[in-house]
Structure 1
Amino acid sequence: MTAAAEAALIATEMVLPGKVAPSGLRPVQRTLPAPAAGEALVRVESTAVSFAESAMRRGRYYGQPAFPFVPGYDLVGIVKAVGPGVDRALLGRRVAALTKTGGWSTAVLLTAADLVEVPDGISADEAETLVVNGLTAYQMLHRTAKVQAGQTILVTGVSGGVGTILTQLAQHAGARVIGTAHPRHHEALRALGVEPIDYRDPDLTARIRKLAPDGVDAVFDHLGGESVTLSYGMLNRTGTLVSYSIAAALDGTRHVLLDFMPLLAKLAFWNYLPTRRHASFYDVWSGSGKPDSAKREAFRARMRTDLTHVFDLLRDGRLTAKIAARFPLSEVAAAMELSESSGRTNLGKIILVP
């Protein structure tokens, strides 16, 4: 093991001790063991703030671990050491990983099979904008909704990390994009080719109907709650609704299941109606299965294929990384406050640099 790898074994992690304000996160140092069989030690170059961490600090993310834990849904970094059974060609390579938690650290131990190599020519920060967001956008667009050239889609929160990538992928596929966002981002969104609408417009439904009188082919809704009812009503006769978050419930006080389960029930009910419309909830972890199971291997293969394709689009200039801001990991509190301020209307992804 190299001296650099040995130094990386001492990691600084940002620990979420409980339901606290962003300022309540605390740095903790711990020594990581050498990689075990099948593991790789990754020095983190870039991670990010997302809706998931904002929900977790409130105790409102379904399936989050018990406090205390280290947040961080995804990361990009350099492989510094590998355990027995892992191809040593990974050493020194830049890789990306979905972690759900644990990414807010200077170094992490990960299962090597879960790593996706980042193509040469893409920076760590650029790649980080695409890990969970790019994978989510690509799979919702092509695996769930199966959007085709000439179709029209509606994206709620189109200025966010998922929305900006979804927009570019949709246009690359030849689709038209209508999106809701804060007016401060409308000019930039028009430059991306979006037809923006103020998400606070009291005549939102009428505004969308004016742009798409017969309804849209697909809606991608991150709000949940009453928003999905509006979104379903915006579909044309054969349209698809893809719900992928319950951001509207972020500041709620009741148990998160009391918001999540009614949403799933509503989507299921719509699918029983005698129509050609379809509604579903997208979860990036769907089908992941247990570690080392056949389902897990299929999940890894699908993730690697889709994320590599999105990385290639970025490398070839057909996608542009949208970075709202960069913060040192030590300033994660300020990054979270920005993410959660002003109606959460940042353009792109907020990056953390360990």
Structure 2
Amino acid sequence: MRALICEQPEGFESLRLGDMPIPAPGPGEVLVEVKAAGLNFADSLMCAGKYQVKPPVPFVPGLELAGMVTALGQGVDTLKPGQRVMAVVDHGAFAASALCKAADVFPIPEGLGFQQAAGFPIAYGTSYGALVWKARLQPGETLLVHGAAGGVGLTAVEIGKALGARVIATAGGPDKCAIALAHGAEAAIDYKAEDIRERVKALTGGKGADVVYDPVGGDVFDASLRAVNWNARIVIIGFAGGRVPAIPANILLVKNVDALGFYWGSYRQHRPDLLAAGFAALSGMAAAGQLRPHISEILPLAAWHQGFETLLSRRATGKIVFEP
């Protein structure tokens, strides 16, 4: 089968297209014919040997996919051949077929195609878990979403609105701000031209945000600390801005602020029941028209270099999807 192969974790530039045998599902596993696979920032880290998970080489990168079930391993009775599914994998999505644990495979929400579903599990799963499990976002609260036109940020805008929050988005440039507004943000801040702290304070009557969703880090995180309400919660999703911020504990203390780290992938191991419940809730939101996955680019695997470059330069809006 055709696959994108990492032979040494030296960065995405060292990947190559090649052929690998089609794997056979073992007990508790499912073989899925991949119709589309979502590209994530974590894929670039894994290809560089900097991710939490370090597969033995050679390996096929790719953490999420959508496709058709083609074979079931022993003991799998919750799925059937020919079923349209989306899945999360430790690696292996950037190939014509992928092995998945049955517990990590979910029906595609009604109304979504393979391309939309390919970028659904991680981005929407992350935002749902961060806002519901960690931040305990309540209707009527103000949610500040950074990187709001990006792969995970845009899903946080949609889910925050669906949960009844007032959403303020930040993004780089008027075009990206417009995308966040089109997906449910009440207001958008262009951080390239506006001061985040001053604008948030102005938009909230001087109170600040109740919840901050931050996949960016760096200067954006620093600004968030000075733009939050008393008893606010800041959920740390990642560091796409490049700098891991040092958190001044005195600010957390004075305002009773919670700084919460959130790594959605670890819930697959520790709380798979929450994942299943989360996807059930997300499927309901999708069926109600509250979630509209935004695809920035659809590329063949042969254009993987272009996909990674677009992602890492932060030119993408929504998700980049590969079709094997």
**Same fold, TM exceeding 0.5?**
yes
Partner SS, residue 227 of structure 1: helix
Structure 2 equivalent of residue 316 of structure 1: 288
Structure 2 equivalent of residue 113 of structure 1: 103
Structure 2 equivalent of residue 134 of structure 1: 124
Q: Distance in 2 between matches of 1:113 and 1:65?
A: 20
Cα shift at 1:17: 3.0
1:219-234 to structure 2, matched below 5 A, reads: 219-234=212-227
Structure 1 equivalent of residue 310 of structure 2: 338
Q: Distance in 2 between matches of 1:70 and 1:203?
A: 42
Q: Distance in 2 between matches of 1:33 and 1:98?
A: 17
Cα shift at 1:26: 0.6
5+ residue gaps, structure 2: none
Instruction: Give the AA of the match of 1:347.
Output: T
Distance 1:37 1:189, change over 3 A: closer
Conserved? CA contact 2:29–2:99, under 8 Å: yes
Cα shift at 1:230: 2.3
Give the alignment's TM-score, normalised by structure 2.
Answer: 0.90
Distance 1:235 1:315, change over 3 A: same
Distance 1:275 1:17, change over 3 A: same
Instruction: Give the AA of the match of 1:348.
Output: G
Q: Percent identity?
A: 30
Q: Distance in 1 between matches of 2:89 and 2:219?
A: 30
Instruction: Give the AA of the match of 1:126.
Output: Q
Cα shift at 1:207: 2.3
Structure 1 equivalent of residue 177 of structure 2: 186
Give the alignment's TM-score, normalised by structure 1.
Answer: 0.83
Distance 1:198 1:274, change over 3 A: closer
Cα shift at 1:138: 0.8
Q: Distance in 2 between matches of 1:73 and 1:271?
A: 36
Cα shift at 1:77: 1.5
Structure 1 window deviating more from structure 2 (80-89 vs 138-147): it is 80-89
Instruction: Give the AA of the match of 1:160.
Output: G
Q: Distance in 2 between matches of 1:270 and 1:225?
A: 18
Cα shift at 1:89: 4.7
Q: Distance in 1 between matches of 2:177 and 2:255?
A: 34
Conserved? CA contact 1:270–1:278, under 8 Å: no
Structure 1 equivalent of residue 317 of structure 2: 347
The answer to whether structure 1 residue 210 and structure 2 residue 210 are counterparts is: no
Distance 1:237 1:287, change over 3 A: same
Conserved? CA contact 1:153–1:218, under 8 Å: yes
The answer to whether structure 1 residue 61 and structure 2 residue 72 are counterparts is: no
Q: Distance in 2 between matches of 1:300 and 1:68?
A: 28
Cα shift at 1:288: 4.0
Distance 1:271 1:234, change over 3 A: closer
Q: How many residues align?
A: 321
Instruction: Give the AA of the match of 1:329.
Output: L
Distance 1:72 1:180, change over 3 A: same
**What per-residue deviation string (whole Å, max 9, x for no partner) do you get for residues 103-129 of structure 1?**
111101222222112244321112223
Distance 1:88 1:179, change over 3 A: closer
Distance 1:83 1:334, change over 3 A: same
Partner SS, residue 210 of structure 1: helix
Instruction: Give the AA of the match of 1:304.
Output: A
Partner SS, residue 338 of structure 1: helix
Cα shift at 1:153: 1.1
Structure 2 equivalent of residue 253 of structure 1: none
Distance 1:70 1:137, change over 3 A: same
Structure 1 window deviating more from structure 2 (187-196 vs 60-69): it is 60-69
Partner SS, residue 312 of structure 1: helix
Partner SS, residue 152 of structure 2: helix
Cα shift at 1:143: 1.3
Q: Distance in 2 between matches of 1:14 and 1:26?
A: 6
Instruction: Give the AA of the match of 2:306.
Output: A
Conserved? CA contact 1:48–1:351, under 8 Å: yes
Distance 1:63 1:271, change over 3 A: farther
Cα shift at 1:140: 1.0
Structure 1 equivalent of residue 262 of structure 2: 282
